[in-house]
Amino acid sequence: MMSQWKDIDLIANEVNSGKTTALSLVEKSLATIEDKSDYDAIISVIKDRAIERAKSIDARIVKGEKVGRLAGVPFIAKDNMLTFGSATTAASNILKGFVAPYQATVIERLEAEGAICVAKANLDAFAHGSSTENSDFMVTKNPHNKKLVPGGSSGGSAAAVILDMAPFALGTDTGGSIRLPASFCGAVGFKPTYGLVSRNGVIAMASSTDVIGPITKNVRDTAIVMEVIAGQDTLDSTTIKLDSYDFIPDKYSLKGKTIGVVKEFEGSDISKPVQTKFGQTIETLKSLGANVIEVSFPLIEYSLACYYIIAPAEISSNLSRYDGTRYGFSDSKATTLEESYNKTRSLGFGREAKRRIMLGTYVLSSGYYDAYYNQAQKLRTKLIEEYNQAFKKCDFIITPTAPDVAFAIGENVDDSMKMYLTDVLTVGASLVGIPAISIPANVGNSLPIGIQIMADQKHDADLINFANALEGSI
Distance from C-alpha of 13 to C-alpha of 29, rounded to nearest angstrom: 18
Is 153 a residue of the active site? yes
Q: Which of 79, 173, 221, 314 binds ligand GLN (CB under 6 A)?
A: 173
In 3D, which of 444, 427, 421, 471 has the Cα closest to residue 191? 427
- Residues found in the chain: 474
* Rounded least distance, CB 427 to ligand GLN, Å: 7
Chain-centroid distance, C-alpha 218: 15
Judged by CB under 6 A, does residue 192 bind ligand GLN?
no
Distance from C-alpha of 266 to C-alpha of 474, rounded to nearest angstrom: 20
Give the phi and the psi of residue 405 in degrees, each rounded to 5: -75, 180
Judged by CB under 6 A, does residue 80 bind ligand GLN?
no
Q: Which of residues 270-329 bind ligand GLN (CB under 6 A)?
A: 311
Selecting among 86, 135, 157, 177, the annotated active-site residue is: 177
Burial class (CB in 10 A: 0-12, 13-18, 19+), 155: buried
Is 330 a residue of the active site? no
Distance from C-alpha of 325 to C-alpha of 399, rounded to nearest angstrom: 45
Judged by CB under 6 A, does residue 376 bind ligand GLN?
no
83 within 8 A of 120, measured Cβ to Cβ? yes
Question: Of 32 and 153, which has the nearer Cβ to ligand GLN?
Answer: 153
258 within 8 A of 395, measured Cβ to Cβ? yes
| Per-residue binding letters, 112-141, with ligand GLN (x by CB under 6 A) | ---------------xxxx-----------
426 within 8 A of 452, measured Cβ to Cβ? yes
Selecting among 29, 92, 135, 153, the annotated active-site residue is: 153
Cα–Cα–Cα angle for 272, 274, 277, nearest 5°?
110
Helices 8-16 and 47-62 cross at an angle (nearest 10°) of 60
Q: From start to end of 252-330, where are the E strands? A: 258-262, 291-295
Judged by CB under 6 A, does residue 155 bind ligand GLN?
no
Question: Of 175 and 440, which has the nearer Cβ to ligand GLN?
Answer: 175
Judged by CB under 6 A, does residue 182 bind ligand GLN?
no
| Per-residue binding letters, 412-451, with ligand GLN (x by CB under 6 A) | -----------x----------------------------
* Rounded least distance, CB 44 to ligand GLN, Å: 20
14 within 8 A of 70, measured Cβ to Cβ? no
* Rounded least distance, CB 175 to ligand GLN, Å: 3
Q: Which of 85, 167, 176, 400 binds ligand GLN (CB under 6 A)?
A: 176
* Rounded least distance, CB 80 to ligand GLN, Å: 9
Q: Which of 105, 174, 303, 452 binds ligand GLN (CB under 6 A)?
A: 174
* Rounded least distance, CB 362 to ligand GLN, Å: 16
Cα–Cα–Cα angle for 45, 46, 50, nearest 5°?
130
How many residues of this chain bind ligand GLN (CB under 6 A)? 14
Active-site residue set: 78, 153, 177
Positions touching ligand GLN (CB under 6 A) are 127-130, 153, 172-177, 205, 311, 423
